[in-house]
Amino acid sequence: MNFNYSMPTKIISGKDCIRNNSAVFSKFGKKALIVTGRKSAVLNGSKADVLFALEEEGMECVVFNKVMSNPTIACTYEGAKVARESNVDFIIAIGGGSPIDAAKGIAILAVQEVNEEDLFSGQYKEEVLPIVAVPTTAGTGSEVTQYSILTNDKLETKTSIATPLIFPKVAFLDPKYMLELSITNTINTTVDALSHAVEGMLSVRANLISDALALTSISMIMNALNKLVEAKEMDKLSLLDLSLRETLLEASTLAGMVIAQTGTTVVHAMGYSLTYFKGIDHGRANGLLLGTYLTFVKKEKPDLVGRILKEMQLESISEFEECMSSLFGAKEEITEEEIKLYSKKAITTKNIPNSQVAPNEEELREMFMSVFSL
């Protein structure tokens, strides 16, 4: 098999890993821009740990805490302005995928002039600010990917900046930050990670190493799903303890390492419209669509789907769909007109030719219809 493999992010994992490794920050300069969402980094203790480590090293920082979920292009430019004005040496991104993705855009825009029209061109100068990532959800894997996914109002979808320049230099994985992440957010983000691992195997760029990572991630997540269903049914967050959080975080990072090699496929392409137009959470959107796409792939590649189901310890795709519906409950309502629009948008994405089994626009429509029972 011909393939290349490279994953430049150093991973430091374990409870209290930031406080125990403060010297890591000092390698990147004297002053950091900390990029976070509005509240969670304060509530879950991650920001306090970073501030502690910076103080230990005698370093300064400025905070940009305005990143919303599904970050906008405008928010990224705003963060870059703060980075420039404060003359920071590097960026510490703390949060879910949204702050980490915004931080990646900021890392470019803080040191280069890039117009909005060229932001997704993939053509940048070599110079970007180094990024240290602290994930506080276990889903996107953004701490180990070269993607920054931003809400693009001009194209009415989400668009990625993809360049190896924005791989975080270091990712700190501490599961304790996730202990208070709500059951719904935990389910959504876990299924995003599962979708990355599965889609990675369905990508034209799947290779020996990405498949090995994906299979391990799939197995870890599927073994944890029963606990998530139980926590949801009993409405008991304490069931999701530190050891389970650690498993989910590690599995999510493995799945991030998968998509760093393979990219995502049809499921993410379809899901972006559900998020953009209907406000459906990113991971939930993937979870609603994954079963249908597996059914579509199975017609041409039954062995590939069989391999995935085997790792999931499931007999059939319907069993997988039952599992998703016990996590997600009733689906949103969507009209035929909306589906037409979403299919038209999905067919133009790079994810379609990146899929081993690529649908046409009509087939995308049929998949949407079957998910939303139209």
CB atoms within 10 A of CB 127: 11
Q: Does 171 bind ligand NAP (CB under 6 A)?
A: no
Residues 293-312 within binding reach of ligand NAP (CB under 6 A)? none
User: Site map for ligand NAP, 83-102, x if CB under 6 A?
Assistant: ------------xxxx--x-
**Complex with ligand NAP: residue 101 or 246, whichever CB lies closer:** 101
- The C-alpha atoms of residue 268 and residue 145 are separated, in whole angstroms, by 15
CB of 196 to Fe ion, least distance (A): 6
Q: What is the dihedral of CA 243, 246, 252, 255, to 10 degrees?
A: -90
Q: Which is nearer to ligand NAP, 37 or 359 (CB)?
A: 37
Sites for ligand NAP among residues 42-61 (CB under 6 A): 44
**Residues in binding contact with ligand NAP, number by CB under 6 A:** 32
Residue nearest to Fe ion (CB): 192
Distance CA 246, CA 13 (A): 9
The sign of the torsion formed by the CA atoms of 196, 79, 86, 120 equals positive
Cβ proximity to ligand NAP: between 78 and 363 the closer is 78
Q: Considering the complex, what minimum distance in angstroms separates the CB of residue 345 from ligand NAP?
A: 15
Shortest distance (Å) from residue 318 CB to ligand NAP: 26
Tell me how far CA of residue 186 lies from CA of 75, 102, 319, 346, in angstroms: 25, 21, 21, 26
**Could you tell me which of 329, 341, 356 has the C-alpha nearest to residue 276?**
341
DSSP state, residue 332: P
Minimum CB–partner distance for residue 256 and ligand NAP (Å) = 6
- Write out the two tokens for 246: 């650690």
Distance CA 161, CA 122 (A): 7
**Does residue 40 belong to the site contacting ligand NAP (CB under 6 A)?**
yes
Residue 180 within binding range of ligand NAP, rule CB under 6 A: yes
Q: How many CB atoms lie within 10 A of CB 215?
A: 20
36 dihedral zone (left: phi>0; alpha: psi -120 to 50; beta): beta
Q: Are 35 and 106 in contact (CB under 8 A)?
A: yes
| CB of 133 vs Fe ion, minimal distance in Å | 15
Is residue 175 close enough to count as binding ligand NAP by CB under 6 A?
Answer: no
Q: Interface with Fe ion by CB under 5 A: which residues?
A: 192
Residue 268 CB, nearest distance to Fe ion (Å)? 6
Nearer to Fe ion, 64 or 276 (CB): 276
Report the nearest approach of Fe ion to the CB of residue 74 (Å): 22
Determine, following the binding rule CB under 6 A, whether residue 189 of this chain makes contact with ligand NAP. Answer: yes
- Name the minimum Å distance from CB 59 to ligand NAP: 23
Binding of residue 69 to ligand NAP (CB under 6 A)? yes
User: C-alpha 66: how far from its chain's center?
Assistant: 19
Residue 70 lies near ligand NAP (rule: CB under 6 A): yes
Number of H helices, E strands in the chain: 14, 8
286 is a site residue for ligand NAP (CB under 6 A): no
Nearer to Fe ion, 143 or 192 (CB): 192
Q: Does 39 bind ligand NAP (CB under 6 A)?
A: yes
d(CA 146, CA 249): 18
- Contacting residue, 47, 92, 109, 142, with ligand NAP by CB under 6 A: 142
Q: Which of 210, 187, 183, 189 is nearest to 198 (CA)?
A: 210
Q: DSSP assignment, residue 137?
A: S
**How does DSSP classify residue 81?**
H
CB atoms within 10 A of CB 77: 15
Query: Which residues would be at the binding site for ligand NAP (CB under 6 A)?
Result: 37-41, 44, 69-70, 95-98, 101, 136-137, 139-142, 145, 147, 149, 158, 177-178, 180-181, 185, 189, 192, 282-283
